[in-house]
Structure formats: C-alpha cells, structure tokens
Amino acid sequence: MAERTCTGCRSGYDKTELIRYVCDPSGRLLVDYRHKLPGRGAYTCIDLDCIASAIARGGFSRSFKQSIAIPEADALIQEVIGNLRSRILNLIGMSRKAGAIVSGSNSVLQELVKPTAALLIVATDAAPGTAEKILNRARGADVPFFKLFDKQTLGSAVGRDERSHLVLTNKKFAGNLILEINRLKKVAGEN
C-alpha cells in the first residue's frame, strides 16, 4: 500500500484514495485521475476544501519544487469533475462490453427483482412516471440507485441512441461505479 500526503490537508492516505496531479513540460498543472502519466506527482484528497487549500497554500509548487501555472480553484475542480465523469462513463462502457448491463424500461423492471441486480442508474431527464416506477422497484428490492447523466449520455456509454435506465448485473463493476459516483458527488458538492 503506497501512502501519499495530501498537499491540502497534509494528511497521509493510500494513493488510490487521492487525486494525482502532474506538471506538464510547459509548467502547467494537469489532473492525472487514473495515476498513469509519467513524472513526479502531487496529491490531494477527493475533497473541495483540500483542492482549494492546496492552491491557496502553494502546495502544488512546493510538491513540484518549482513555480507552476495553477488554474483557479473552480477550473481545477471542473477538470477533476470531468475526469470523474469520464471514469464513470468508461466503467459503464466496460460493463456493457462484459455483458453486465440491462437497459430498456421493461427489461430493467424484470431485472430489478433478480438477485443479480447490483446497481440502477436512472437518467436525470428520464420520464418522471416511468422513473418513479423503476425507482420504487429498486427500493423494494434494496438495489442501490443513482440519478446520473442525461439519456443521450447514458445511451452513448452503452452504444445506443438514448437510455433512461440501466441495471448493472456484476457486483464488482457496480462497486467500482458506486465508489466513483460517490467521489463525483463529493467533489461536485452534492454530499
């Protein structure tokens, strides 16, 4: 378990619990959410206050041991949110490729009563009547659910035109998605 220190709150955590940042050759700060980019990294908690504190206290320049171009806190937070959204959509796409997604209102309603139903995602612009019927079924079956993205975005993630409802049938994919969705909600200030 590799531990890193948050440049905002100065607490130590496993690096998988933190957001990684790198400095590009021109001296600009980049979000490296997947921890894949080469070079020295700086870290913050997945928390609005830690990101803002790292900027205000000069934590990034200190970590990189140089003066770097840091965006405004709001711009950096939007970049983190964009990375989280991409990660969530990629996980949905991987679930589809693995055959672990059911979509379409009737299929979703049928799947929600099966023990394989692990997570429900409802589009933010889904028809209210149908969405409430599906949400009630999920509540009754004790299936976790989130309202997330619009129909077009969910449809694109699963290779379709539009999708209002998706059920994940793989517990591992669902667990990873729940983790990332909760991180998104925290950074977006929805918790």
- Domain with residue 41: its CATH number is 3.30.1230.10
- Is residue 59 one of the residues assigned to a domain? yes
* Shared domain check, 106 and 149: yes
* Shared domain check, 90 and 156: yes
CA nearest neighbour of 19 among 27, 121, 65, 9: 9
Looking at the DSSP bridge assignments, the partners of residue 181 are: none
From 70, 98, 115, give the residue that closes a domain.
70
From 29, 44, 70, give the residue that closes a domain.
70
Check residue 191 and give its pLDDT.
63
* Shared domain check, 180 and 155: yes
- Is residue 77 one of the residues assigned to a domain? no
CATH of the domain at 102: 3.30.1330.30
What is the span of the domain harbouring residue 137?
A: 84-187
What percent of the chain has pLDDT above 70? 99
Residue keyed to tokens 């100065």: 10
* Shared domain check, 59 and 28: yes
CB 21 within 8 A of CB 41: yes
- Is residue 141 one of the residues assigned to a domain? yes
* Shared domain check, 99 and 37: no
Question: How far apart, in whole angstroms, are the C-alpha atoms of residue 150 and residue 128?
Answer: 13
* Shared domain check, 63 and 16: yes
* Shared domain check, 107 and 171: yes
pLDDT digits (tens, 9 = 90+) for 22-51: 998 888 899 999 999 998 999 999 999 999
Question: How far apart, in whole angstroms, are the C-alpha atoms of residue 24 and residue 38?
Answer: 9
Question: Could you tell me the pTM of the whole model?
Answer: 0.90
Tell me the average pLDDT of the chain.
Answer: 93
What percent of the chain has pLDDT above 90? 81
pLDDT digits (tens, 9 = 90+) for 101-133: 999 899 999 999 999 999 999 999 999 999 999
CB 43 within 8 A of CB 33: no
